[in-house]
Amino acid sequence: MRIKSRIAILLFVASVIAVYNFVSIRTYEDVINTNLCTEVKLPIVMYHAFLKDTSRHGKFIISPEQFEEDIKYIKDKGYTPIHIKELITYVNAEGNLPEKPILITIDDGYYNNYIYAFPILKQYGVKAVISPIMKFSELYSQHDENNAYYSHITFSQAREMAATGLVEFQNHSYDMHKESGERHGVRKTDSESVEEYRKTVYADLYRAHNMIKENIGCTPAAFTFPFGSYNPYIDQVIDQMGYSVTLSCESGINSISKGCSLKNLKRFNRPHGISTTEFFAKILE
């Protein structure tokens, strides 16, 4: 009788443990699946230059006052500007995002970003991502010429911006931001083979990557396509660079979830001639 009782007790304990393990496994799987299926809407705004001269305002140039109004509107609507590395951390299931994330991106790295946009970012404690053309940052770092109309940020200015923790720097190429000539942006030319193309683009991106890392103190994790000039031949180069994020010039809202791809993220270009409320009406829900 004692033996039978012991066997019964052991069988009961074993069944309880089995049920507990089953429930635990199911619960863990449910949590993982829920996280993977949860989508976060991510609007990305694309800026370029900021000038006070109204005669220069246009598709890619707005006033500093307009930029400040945009920033205040974004904050008033409850959105939190983030960095690309925070986005990567979220997708890799290594961190969380704020309830309403947004990316503020500034392309080309003009000097006017430093004198007009940077003070506004500091004033409101807002994060932004700048993708400079490194050939020009190198050039103006060697020549002391600060002109809001055409100069680009220097290494020392970029370091100052990065040191605040508000500005993140990403790769926009060293010298492939060109519309004239045989090549447009990073597109393949008709005269080069795929192998030659990839070798050329990799050399340029690698140079820009190291220049940002060594002179600004940031390690890029994304590539911003010059003019949005994407082509499928560059995918291998992007992977070779170790980048998991690319920024396009195509308009649209991004749906982000854990484990998803961050390639060819869409962005809304911010032009002059439209009010803050009107511009963000369809972007911020």
DSSP 184-231: -TTPPPTTS-HHHHHHHHHHHHHHHHHHHHHHTS----EEE-GGG---
Q: Name the β-bridge partners of 161.
A: none
d(CA 68, CA 120): 6
pLDDT band for 12, please (50, 70, 90 cuts): low
pLDDT value, residue 28: 36
258-272 confidence digits (pLDDT tens): 999 999 999 999 999
What single letter denotes the amino acid at residue 244?
S
Q: Residue 60: is its pLDDT beyond 90?
A: yes
Instruction: Enumerate residues 6+ apart whose C-beta is below 8 A from 127.
Output: 81, 82, 83, 104, 121, 166, 167, 168
Report, as an integer, the average pLDDT of 73-89.
98
- Beta strands (DSSP E) in 12-120 are 40-42, 44-47, 49-50, 61-62, 80-81, 101-108
d(CA 100, CA 74): 10
pLDDT value, residue 17: 47
pLDDT value, residue 20: 44
Q: Give first-to-last CA distance, the chain, whole Å.
A: 71
Cβ atoms of residues 178 and 108 within 8 Å = no
Q: In the chain, where are the structural domains located?
A: 1-37, 40-280
Instruction: Enumerate residues 6+ apart whose C-beta is below 8 A from 113.
Output: 49, 50, 106, 130, 153
Q: Residue 21: is its pLDDT beyond 50?
A: no
d(CA 244, CA 158): 23
* Token pair belonging to 55: 């005669």
Report, as an integer, the average pLDDT of 131-152.
96
Alpha carbon dihedral 56, 58, 61, 65, in 10-degree steps, equals 90
Q: Residue 144: is its pLDDT beyond 90?
A: no
pLDDT value, residue 22: 43
Pairing of strands 254-256, 40-42: antiparallel
- 2-11, 129-138, 183-192, 244-253: segment of lowest average pLDDT: 2-11
d(CA 114, CA 129): 13
d(CA 102, CA 86): 11
Mean pLDDT of the chain: 90
Closest CA to 153 of 124, 116, 186: 116
Q: Residue 239: is its pLDDT beyond 80?
A: yes
167-199 confidence digits (pLDDT tens): 999 999 999 998 767 888 899 998 999 999 999
Task: Please count the helices (runs of H) and the strands (runs of E) in the chain.
Answer: 10, 13
Report, as an integer, the average pLDDT of 142-155.
95
Q: Residue 202: is its pLDDT beyond 50?
A: yes
Q: Does 111 or 30 have the greater pLDDT score?
A: 111
Report, as an integer, the average pLDDT of 228-257.
95
What single letter denotes the amino acid at residue 221?
A
Q: 239-265 as b/e, with b when 16 or more CB fall inside 10 Å?
A: eebebbbbbbbeeeebebebeeebbbb
Cβ atoms of residues 131 and 106 within 8 Å = yes
pTM of the predicted protein model:
0.85
pLDDT band for 38, please (50, 70, 90 cuts): confident
Name the architecture of domain 40-280: Alpha-Beta Barrel (3.20)
d(CA 266, CA 255): 10
